[in-house]
A and B are shown apart, each in its own frame.
Chain A
Amino acid sequence: MNLIKRVFVSITRRKVASLVILLVAFLMGNVMAVSISIQQSGQNIERNLLERIGGKIVLTGANISASRNVLSLDETSYNLQMNRFMEIYDYLASKNNIAYADYSLHFDGIDLVEGQNIELDESVQYPNGYSILHGIENRELIDEKERYIQFTNGEKFTEEQMKNGDNVLIVNEAVFIDGRPVKPNDVIEFEIKIEEYDPETNKFIITDKETFSYRVVGTFQVIDNKFSDVKNSNNIQMFYTPNQNIKNIYHKYSEMSSNERFQSKYWIDSATIVVSSSEYLFQLSESANSIVEEENYPITVTSTLDTVEKLISPVKSISAISQNILLFSMIAMTIILGLVSFYFIRDRKKEIGIYMSLGIRKSHLMLQIILESVLTGMAAIFLSIGSGWLISQQYSSSLLKNSLEVEESEYEEYMTDTLNYELLAQDVTDNYKITITFEDVSILIILSFSTILLSTAFPLFYIMRLDPKEILLE
């Protein structure tokens, strides 16, 4: 009877011992499987979420936006601020591993000419603080790249149009002209009105105005996905035009308006810089933060890395707990299995003495004991793969749901205009799926195999000290 048959006979005939070891290993295996699956899912969700949102930073010049109408800030200071913002943007956007970048200029001194038969969606008519036109610097339409919109018809702006700031538009198909959706080559009229305060009537009166004809070169539609369905509709635009056009219009307005005191200014809300792969995001984010820290005017850097970090913090807490549970269960399994094996090996003292009297090599005897433990234990571990993952699915989902509810208020505080956190929080729960992967199973098998192997140290140490003469002859 060779080693394998001896092991098989020993496992199958010593039923009580085998069942106890099987049960202990099964229980521990479940705990380990739960811990590993929770940890792995935590890591996966971080990767998936970042991949899904994309790696980007958003520079926000809140001061610029807010001070565009502040009377105390003169034109020179305002321009210095704007220029510095542009410099920082240019520096960061020209770094390596940047996929695309853009910023939008706004100006609220221009509006649609009344009387045109144009229907707009009122909720998004002035998405950016009363600026109907949305300037773009990058003719590749960053909103399309970010999957907020889809270009549907006509052409994008040419380099020439971008550079000259021509009166051209890319328009949302939700805009209706004469009762039909807008199409390329339609013409839409905008106007600048110069208003002066009349102390006699205590009202603003129009002193000058000029009309500008814009040609529609292309159309787009909003993509119906959760990322485009942002809370404050910032990304649902009606009219895209080159940034240079906004500047041109502003200069025209400046020339027409004699009273600097009541002049509007063109402004920038934010600039977006997207990295080619989320792995470069940390570097870019660090770089941006180190620059803005030294600025006189406050510029905020928001990174999707922060967003993801914030969103998955409950998942990370659960992962950290499960890591401790895994460590504890491994130690407990080593001790409990070791003690159980030791208890049963003491009952087999005589059997071991017999093997020794037959001249079995000690290494073979030890291998037999190890194989018995490992085969029984690993059978239990394989059984626990399915049940463990089933338990972890139930356990972790409810744990995550509770954690997200607790932190809901923090999401609200953290919300910026870059992403819809409420929806992303939902995305975390939707994406938090416990799945059995080859990697998870491998980790479970390696860890439990090592633990079981370690637990055989107790019985092996006992065997090493046995004297066959004492067992068999006295």
Chain B
Amino acid sequence: MSILEVKDIYFTYPDGDHRKTILNHVSASFDCGKFYTILGSSGCGKTTFLSLISALDKAESGDIYYNGINIKDIGFEKYRRNHVGIVFQNYNLITYMTALENVRIAMGITENDVGGDISSTALELLEKVGIDRTKADRRVTKLSGGEQQRVAIARALSTNADIILADEPTGNLDKKTGRGIVDIFKNLAHDLNKCVIVVTHSEEVARESDEILRLYSHTQSFNFE
């Protein structure tokens, strides 16, 4: 059974007097241990798709199943709390906190078992993504873009969620730093058996993934090919 199954998702958004169809009965399934990229041109619905599978938004019809259970039944908040970690293009860290505190915040919210000593686990995770102890105690605003994105990845990992979702995670980074981030995602999938789904418009990032899902335009909407 796939860890995440998307069945017949339909989504529209208001466009003047009408509603424009953006996802027209989209279906897909995702497994643990794999690094997926979702490719598509700007405005094709990649981010909408990500917002639906991260339960930040609700589809008009269709269902999303986590481990065979409809996420509506799990509850959107609980699903986000325990089963997905989200990495954003602009990092979305709490600016008045340190890197370590940003990671610990997520560990304090999830109901998953995050290990005995929260601080040392958080430090280990930060180290794993390339943030050493000195940087861990710095306010995130004092870190570079690449470092902030690593903190965001450590935060997504800290809840022990099976699914890591990322929206253009390399979009604000230079090529070299971006490559480093992509390597981390590959390792998460292959070494930690996570289901990593990255939304990107970068072919370069997509080439590094195990599976590429392209969103194409079909008349008024988009779908997986």
Binding site for B on A (CB under 8 A): 1-3, 5-6, 9-10, 13-14, 350-351, 353-362, 364, 468-469, 472-474
Contacts and interface: CB of A to CB of B under 8 A. Distances in A.
A2 B108 contact: yes
Contact of B47 (A10, A358, A359, A473): A473
Interface string B33-56: 000000000000001001100101
A473 to B, nearest CB: 5
29 contacts: A1-B104, A1-B107, A1-B118, A5-B108, A6-B108, A9-B101, A10-B96, A13-B96, A350-B92, A354-B93, A356-B56, A358-B106, A358-B110, A358-B159, A359-B79, A359-B109, A360-B77, A360-B81, A360-B109, A361-B77, A362-B77, A468-B56, A469-B51, A469-B57, A472-B92, A473-B47, A473-B51, A473-B88, A473-B167
A357 B86 CA distance: 7
Given A359-B80, A469-B57, A473-B51, A14 B96 contact: yes
A351 B81 contact: no
Interface in B162-214: 167
Contacts of A468: 56
A351 B94 contact: yes
Contacts of A351: 94-95
Nearest to B105: A1
Contacts of A350: 92
A135 to B, nearest CB: 86
| Residue of B56, B78, B155, B159 with highest tally of chain A CB at under 10 A | B56
Nearest to A12: B96
Contacts of B51: 469, 473
B119 to A, nearest CB: 10
Contacts of A357: 54, 56, 80, 86, 88, 92
Contacts of B118: 1
A48 B222 CA distance: 84
B96 A354 contact: no
Interface in B91-149: 92-97, 101, 104-110, 118
A468 B159 CA distance: 19
B82 interface: yes
Contacts of A356: 56, 80
Contact of A354 (B57, B78, B94, B101): B94
Contacts of B109: 355, 358-360, 364
A353 B88 CA distance: 12
Contact of A358 (B50, B96, B101, B105): B105
B22 to A, nearest CB: 13
Contacts of A10: 96
A351 B95 CA distance: 8
Contacts of A474: 47
B88 A472 contact: yes
- The prevalent SS among residues of B at the interface is helix
Nearest to A468: B56
Given A1-B105, A351-B94, A354-B94, A472 B77 contact: no
Interface of B: 47, 50-51, 54, 56-57, 77-82, 86, 88, 92-97, 101, 104-110, 118, 155, 159, 167
A310 B77 CA distance: 65
Contacts of A13: 96-97
B167 to A, nearest CB: 6
Contacts of A355: 105, 109
Contact of B92 (A6, A354, A360): A354
Contacts of A354: 92-94
A274 B78 CA distance: 73
Contacts of B57: 469
A188 B93 CA distance: 103
A3 B109 CA distance: 9
Nearest to A474: B47
Contacts of B110: 358-359
A473 B81 contact: no
B85 to A, nearest CB: 9
A-B residue pairs, 4 tightest by C-beta: A359-B81, A359-B80, A13-B96, A469-B56
A6 B105 CA distance: 8
A344 B92 CA distance: 18
Nearest to A350: B92
A1 B101 contact: yes
A472 B159 CA distance: 19
Given A13-B96, A354-B94, A364-B109, 8 more contacts: A1-B108, A351-B94, A353-B92, A355-B105, A357-B54, A358-B110, A359-B77, A472-B88
A2 B118 CA distance: 11
A19 B97 CA distance: 18
Contacts of B94: 351, 354
A136 B108 CA distance: 84
B96 A473 contact: no
Contacts of B82: 359
Nearest to B152: A354
A9 B104 CA distance: 12
B116 to A, nearest CB: 15
Contacts of A359: 77-82, 109-110
Contacts of B92: 350, 353-354, 357, 472
B171 to A, nearest CB: 12
Contacts of B96: 9-10, 13-14
B54 to A, nearest CB: 7
B73 to A, nearest CB: 15
B56 A358 contact: no
B168 to A, nearest CB: 10
A2 B159 CA distance: 14
Contact of B81 (A1, A5, A6, A358): A358
Nearest to A348: B94
Nearest to B79: A359
A133 B203 CA distance: 122
A473 B106 contact: no
A94 B78 CA distance: 77
A472 B93 CA distance: 11
A105 to B, nearest CB: 87
A296 B201 CA distance: 108
A351 B80 CA distance: 16
A351 B101 CA distance: 13
Most-contacted residue by chain A among B80, B106, B107, B109 (CB, 10 A): B109
